[in-house]
Amino acid sequence: MNEEEENEAVRCDLERMVKKLENRIADQSNIIMLTKKRADFEMERSSTVSRLNDRLVKENGHLKKALRVSKSDLLVAKKEVDSLKRSMDILQLIDQGPAEKHEQIKIELLIGLREELESARLTLSRMVNEHQQWCAAMKPMINHFGKVADPIIEKNASLKTKLASIQDDTCNQVDQYRAQVNRAVDEKNEAMTKLAVCERQISAIKSQFDANAEVNKLRVQLDEAKEQYRILRGDFDVFKEFSRQQLTLEQEQNQQMRRLFN
């Protein structure tokens, strides 16, 4: 009965552990799903901002084109006004001359002037109406793109500020790295100078040792000492091997003695 209770307790513990693992797996799955949704949202938002930006650029181009057309119409109207002004100047000159001689010319010019004035009036009226219609049509679009462009402009300003900060930090880091490199180069040059001095000192000491006969004698004695050391080392190795064999033999004898006593 105790064994069954223990098995039941182990089974309950395992079930609780499995339940905890399932809950953790579910939490991880939810986190992954939320992360994926956020990534999709960020991607969609970036795509939307890009499309709105493209549309804004396109509409800006249309607005510039319409402004160029309006400017062209205004230039045409200005030319017509200049023509009318020249005609008025001609009439004024005619008024200053003999009236009998230029009466017919004056009448013809007045008729032409009336026609030009009427044409100019109609042209200006048409341009004013078109401009008013264009302004009325563009006003909602301009307001809409103003609302859309303001967050983009603010975000671009924020990004420019961050970019400037990053550039300043990068410049500071580059300056620090450049200073470190310069210090390392200076230290290297100083070390190379010291090394050259040491090499010259070593060369001088070596030449002194080579020129000294006592050094040669010491070298011969050193060689003899090395030879004696080698001989002694061989004897020591033989003694060491003999001791090892002796120890092995004693261990075997001890084991035999233990087996006999046992």
* pLDDT of residue 224 exceeding 80: yes
Q: What is the pLDDT of residues 72-120, one digit of tens each?
A: 666 666 666 666 666 666 666 555 555 555 566 566 666 666 666 677 6
Can you tell me the distance from the alpha carbon of 112 to that of 125, in angstroms, rounded to the nearest whole number?
Answer: 20
Q: CA nearest 121: which of 183, 160, 169, 77? A: 77
Note the pTM of the prediction, 2 decimals: 0.27
Q: What is the pLDDT of residues 200-215, one digit of tens each?
A: 777 776 676 566 667 6
Task: Please give the residue that has the higher pLDDT: either 133 or 3.
Answer: 133
Q: What is the pLDDT of residues 225-262, one digit of tens each?
A: 778 877 777 777 777 777 777 777 777 777 777 776 66
- The burial of 130, by beta-carbon neighbours within 10 Å (0-12 exposed, 13-18 middle, 19 or more buried), is given as middle
What's residue 196's pLDDT?
A: 74
- The answer to whether the beta carbons of residues 87 and 111 sit under 8 Å apart is no
The domain limits of the chain are: 2-156, 210-261
- The answer to whether the beta carbons of residues 70 and 131 sit under 8 Å apart is yes
